[in-house]
Amino acid sequence: MVQNESIISQLYHSAEVDQCIAKHFAQDCQNDIKHDLFELLINLPTGCLEEKQSKGKLKAYVAVIIMNLKRQRYGKVAKMVNNYTQFDELPTISILETIENEDPIERLQNEVERKLNWYQKGMVELYARLGSIRAVSRATKIPVESIKYTIKESRKIIKKAW
């Protein structure tokens, strides 16, 4: 485990990883991509990184992950989802009026609508409809770890709202 941590630490501080991310992504999303990359690397099975490093394929492996993250962010599914998230103007709703007139379940649903972003809402809906994270991954071609993280964060937000 210590070896795994040192490899991840070396990669995190590596200028090559930063250059690869900078080459493929805009400045405003580079930190998010780096976070996603290292979340995936940390969740790899024990010994996987050591094996890749011993074979001299670790940097290529990281580059492939970065390309997959690019495909995930700018690919066909992302473009389809972006088509449905264009808003000209959001309606203004008085929060006090809504709280007074709603029952607790409706209030929770409205709170979730306000606090979850479009991606989280979509993942939660797909997860509820399809029943498993793997099924959502197969349907959207989004990595399982990314979906797990999104569902986990959405659950925290929903629990806080409840």
Q: What is the pLDDT of residues 10-20, one digit of tens each?
A: 888 888 888 88
Structural domains of the chain, count: 2
Does 155 share its domain with 113? yes
Nearest to 136 by CA among 144, 44, 80, 158: 144
Q: Which residue has the tokens 């306000």?
A: 114
Residue 83 inside a domain? The answer is no
CATH number of the domain residue 150 falls in: 1.10.10
Q: Which residue has the tokens 């290292």?
A: 38
Q: Which residue has the tokens 């989280």?
A: 120
Residue 151 inside a domain? The answer is yes
Structure tokens, 22: 């900078």
Residue 145 inside a domain? The answer is yes
| Domain of residue 13, residue span | 2-74
Does 108 share its domain with 62? no
Residue 81 inside a domain? The answer is no
Residue 84 inside a domain? The answer is no
Does 131 share its domain with 108? yes
Q: What is the pLDDT of residues 87-130, one digit of tens each?
A: 444 445 555 555 555 566 777 777 777 888 888 888 888 888 88
